[in-house]
């Protein structure tokens, strides 16, 4: 279904869409160089904005392009350029427990249906946010509710936060579509971070979709290689 998943249904995805919203973004100053490095190191796909996909698609090489929509593409009509510019999938973000939740869900549903019409997989990034509705946004049942909502509205792949404990992702995986683990805030303790990923992958997660934890510190290529080993072979190199 989602072409960026490897044969085993697993994927290492690198997110580089941050500069549309924030700056400076240390590590992302030169997008082409970074793309080249992470693709070379084994990234299966990148999440990027419209301008980056259009202008740097050639640099992606064999990696797939997941077009982040949100502000940059708002109506169904926009999908045709998406396909034309070489996007292999589309993604929108839903933050549960926020004021914009309902609009984001409706938008996600429209995108899912529209993506089906043009034959592109839709990745729903769905993140519970600390709020009266979700006092503990990392509780396994909360994460599971998020992934199930995404599956119900038509996502082909879900990207969500790692629950606490990470093995709690098992409940979320029951939603019936592949679940990618978001990277989130830069990890202070790298070892613990990777151990958590390993635990969640063992519990059924299909892969990772990481940004700052790949390119925010030094050696993005090395980090991608470590993630690829973990995701595709289950071993930490």
- Toward a second copy, which CB reaches closer, 81 or 186? 81
Least Å distance, CB 170 to a second copy, is 11
Least Å distance, CB 136 to a second copy, is 14
Least Å distance, CB 210 to a second copy, is 19
Q: How far is it, in rounded angstroms, from Cα 187 to Cα 192?
A: 8
- Toward a second copy, which CB reaches closer, 149 or 208? 149
Other CB atoms within 10 Å distance of the CB of residue 32: 12
Contacts with a second copy by CB under 8 A lie at 17, 19-24, 29-32, 49-52, 54-56, 71-78, 80-81, 84-85, 102, 105-106, 109-110, 112-113, 116-117, 141-142, 144-146, 148-155, 174, 176-177
Least Å distance, CB 44 to a second copy, is 22
Buried b (16+ CB within 10 A) or exposed e, 106-125: ebbbbbbebbeeeebbbbbb
- Toward a second copy, which CB reaches closer, 71 or 195? 71
Q: How far is it, in rounded angstroms, from Cα 184 to Cα 191?
A: 15
Dihedral (CA of 14, 189, 216, 229) sign: negative
- For the question of residue 191 being annotated catalytic, the response is no
- Toward a second copy, which CB reaches closer, 176 or 234? 176
At 191 the three-state DSSP class reads helix
Q: Which H/E stretch holds residue 140?
A: helix 140-153
Write down the catalytic residue from 10, 64, 156, 159: 159
77: its two tokens: 């009509």
**Would you please indicate which residues are annotated as catalytic (active-site) residues?**
159
């Amino acid at each position: 279904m989602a072409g960026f998943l490897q044969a085993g249904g697993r994927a290492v995805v690198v997110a580089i869409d941050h500069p549309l919203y924030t700056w400076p973004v240390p590590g992302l100053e030169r997008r082409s160089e970074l793309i080249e490095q992470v693709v070379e190191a084994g990234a299966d796909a990148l999440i990027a904005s419209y301008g980056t996909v259009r202008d740097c698609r050639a640099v992606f090489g064999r990696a797939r392009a997941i077009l982040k929509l949100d502000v940059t593409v708002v109506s169904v009509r926009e999908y045709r350029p998406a396909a034309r510019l070489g996007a292999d999938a589309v993604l929108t973000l839903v933050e549960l427990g926020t004021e914009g939740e309902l609009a984001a869900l409706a938008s996600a549903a429209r995108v899912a249906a529209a993506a089906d019409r043009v034959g592109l997989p839709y990745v729903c990034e769905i993140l519970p946010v600390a709020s009266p509705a979700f006092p503990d946004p990392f509780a396994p049942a909360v994460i599971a509710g998020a992934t199930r909502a995404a599956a119900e509205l038509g996502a082909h792949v879900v990207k969500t936060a790692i629950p606490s404990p990470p093995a709690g992702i098992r409940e979320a995986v029951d939603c019936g579509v592949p679940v990618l683990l978001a990277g989130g805030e830069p990890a202070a303790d790298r070892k613990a971070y990777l151990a958590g990923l390993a635990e969640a992958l063992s519990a059924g997660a299909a892969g990772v979709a990481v940004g700052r934890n790949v390119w925010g510190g030094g050696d993005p290529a090395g980090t991608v290689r470590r993630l690829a080993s973990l995701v595709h072979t289950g071993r930490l190199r």
